Amino acid sequence: MDESASDSPKKADPYSRRVFLKQIVSGTVTTLMIYTPGARGGHETSRIWKQRSTEHQWAYIIDVDKCIGWGGCVRACARENNVPDGHFRTWVERYIHTEDGVYVDSPKGGSEGFEPVKEEIRDKAKYARFVPKMCNHCQNPPCVQVCPVGATFKSPEGFVLVDHEHCLGCAYCVQACPYGARFINAEINKSDKCTWCYHRIKQGKLPACVEACPTGARKFGDLKDPKSDVSIILQQGHWTVLRPDMHTGPTCFYIGLPKEVI
Partner 1 sequence: MVELPNNALVNYIFPNNEQVWWSLMIVIYPYLTGLIAGAFVVSALYHVLNLKQFKPIANFALIAAFCFGLFAAVPLLVHLGQPQRAFEIYVTPHTTSAMSIFGYVYSGYMLLLVIEIWLIYRVYFISRANETRGIQQRVWYLLALGVTTYHPDSAQLDRKLARILAAIGIPWACLLHGYVGFVFGSVKAISWWATALQPIIFLSSAIVSGIAVLIVMYTFIKWRSQAGYDYSMIKNLAAILWATFIFDWALEMLEIAHVYYQDAHEWAVIGPLISGPLYGSYIWGQVVWLSLVPTILLGYAVIQRGSGKGMLYMVNVGSFLLLLQVLFMRFNVVVGGQLISKSARGFVDFHWEILGKEGILTAGLIFAAPFVTYYIISRFIPIFEDPAGYAKFNPPASK
Residues at the interface with partner 1 (CB under 8 A):
86-88, 91, 93, 98, 100-106, 108-109, 121, 133, 142, 144-150, 166-172, 174-184, 188-190, 245-246, 260, 262
- Rounded Cα distance between 113 and 253, Å, is 23
Q: Residue 146: what are its φ and ψ, rounded to 5°?
A: -90, -15
Of residues 217, 261, 212, the one with CA closest to residue 93: 261
Residue type, 207: P
Q: Phi-psi region for residue 249, left (φ > 0), alpha (ψ -120 to 50) or beta?
A: left
CB-wise, 51 or 145, nearer to partner 1? 145
CB-wise, 105 or 225, nearer to partner 1? 105
Cα–Cα distances in angstroms (integers) from residue 85 to residues 69, 76, 133, 146, 164, in the given order: 19, 13, 17, 27, 19
Least distance to partner 1 from the beta carbon of 143, Å?
9
CB-wise, 55 or 245, nearer to partner 1? 245
Of residues 130, 148, 140, 136, the one with CA closest to residue 214: 130
Least distance to partner 1 from the beta carbon of 20, Å?
37
Least distance to partner 1 from the beta carbon of 227, Å?
36
DSSP result, 124-173: HEEEEEEEEEE----SS-HHHHH-TTS-EEE-TTS-EEE-TTT-----HH
Least distance to partner 1 from the beta carbon of 133, Å?
8
Residue 73 · residue 212 · CB < 8 Å: yes
Does residue 238 sit in helix, strand or coil? coil
CB-wise, 57 or 90, nearer to partner 1? 90
Burial 118-132 (b: 16+ CB within 10 A, else e): eeebeeeeeebbbbb
Least distance to partner 1 from the beta carbon of 60, Å?
18
Least distance to partner 1 from the beta carbon of 160, Å?
14
CB-wise, 64 or 174, nearer to partner 1? 174
CB-wise, 25 or 186, nearer to partner 1? 186
CB-wise, 88 or 254, nearer to partner 1? 88
Least distance to partner 1 from the beta carbon of 56, Å?
25
